[in-house]
Amino acid sequence: MEYMKKADVFEQTSSHDVEQTVKSIIEHVKAGGDDAVREYEKKFGDSDRPVRVSEEEIEHCIRTLPEEVKVLIDRVVERVSDFAKAQLSCLTPFEKDFGEGIKMGHRIVPIEKVGAYVPGGRFPLLSSGPMVVAPAKVAGAKRIVAACPANYEGGIHPAVLYGLIRSGATDIFAIGGAQAIAAMAYGTESIPEVDIIAGPGNRFVAEAKRQVFGKVGIDLIAGPSEVMVFADDSASPQKIAADLLAQAEHDPYARAILVTTSRTVAEETEKAIEGFLKTFSPSSPAHESWEKRGEIIYADSLQEGLDICNDYAIEHLHLHIKNSRELMDKLNNYGSLFLDEGSSVVFSDKVSGTNHTLPTQKAARYTGGLWAGSYVKVMTHQEITGQGIQFLASHAEDQSEIEGLEGHKLSATVRLTECASK
């Protein structure tokens, strides 16, 4: 393996300063409620508007948003919802006998109150709201509280707001940052307390989700975008370069990485990237992202390339390789997999239907991304009768004796005594 261009050491999403700042914000919101939220909105976003998005704002958005934009967003909502429904159909309740008198099973129960964080960011990402909200709606959440920064003309960008409405948000608040996460986790006079918080955000949002975890559930802690393209000698350097830069433009901290078994592809891709960047706006985050964190890695063999892919456990893994489907079973660590050069990551970012809220910073080693199953609980139950009581109570009595647990033994013994008396 050889690094032709090696990234700087990737900065951690959370530093001590960020941790302490977020801790202070959370404590202030817990104590101060709406007033604290408004204080931070003014401080960080120069916003002094009401925190709740009014019905008048919603009606104005629906009335004035161009029809062609609505069509695009409606399509996103439909496709994300359809994929979420297909995923949820794989989770089925069951109940069966596990021995005479031993009946056990589980139910699939929706999480009732969902907090959906939708970042404002540098660009109004039209798919971000549907990606977080639509699966919760499909899962059956009764209340979906959405928060999005008021960074567009004193409110939420109309297209983003429309996406939240169409996806099923029941309450929408024009707030962002750690204060939004704290408000949804602990509740304020205006903002309902939720059971789980999902959605991506900047490092303050990610740190806030980390700190409120336990009080509420979270989906995952997602950092800046990552993409790895794994290519052989059949790949197009132009397409690879475009795919790498598409993710690099998300954030200066985004990571765009090429792994290839072809030196020619490696060299030509680097040239293509340099050429494309000359056409990008000088303010594009892609410049800094590629310069400081881009990587091109030459692998001596296909197997070494696969090993690199699994080791990086990247968010988006795109295979520009002949017969790429044959490699699926050899790849175990990724947020989402894109087979063949035609399957652009951009399609998933926008409209294909899979969720673009995915694990970063090697979290793909132990988790997948946001999905319909993130919004349900698998709850077990059991019913023990007749011979099942005698069998399990006898075992529990003997085991409790060994463990020295008197109460456990008593609970089993009284049932054995009852069985014997019948």
Pairing of strands 295-298, 2-5: antiparallel
Nearest to 305 by CA among 273, 275, 266: 266
d(CA 252, CA 270): 18
Q: Check if the beta carbon of residue 191 is closer than 8 Å to that of residue 41.
A: no
Terminal alpha carbon distance of the chain:
73
Could you confirm whether 318 is annotated as catalytic?
no
Which residue in 315, 318, 320, 341 is the catalytic one? Answer: 315
Could you confirm whether 193 is annotated as catalytic?
no
Write out the DSSP string of 66-117: -HHHHHHHHHHHHHHHHHHHHHHTT---EEEESSTTEEEEEEEEE-SEEEEE
Q: Check if the beta carbon of residue 285 is closer than 8 Å to that of residue 250.
A: yes
Pairing of strands 143-147, 171-173: parallel
Which residue in 28, 157, 250, 316 is the catalytic one? Answer: 316
Report how far apart, in Å, the C-alpha atoms of 316 and of each of 229, 253, 265, 338 are.
8, 15, 20, 8
Strand partners of residue 229: 258, 318
Q: Check if the beta carbon of residue 325 is closer than 8 Å to that of residue 331.
A: no
Q: Which are the contacts of 410, defined by CB distance < 8 A and separation ≥ 6?
A: none
CA 356 to chain centre: 7
Catalytic residues: 315-316
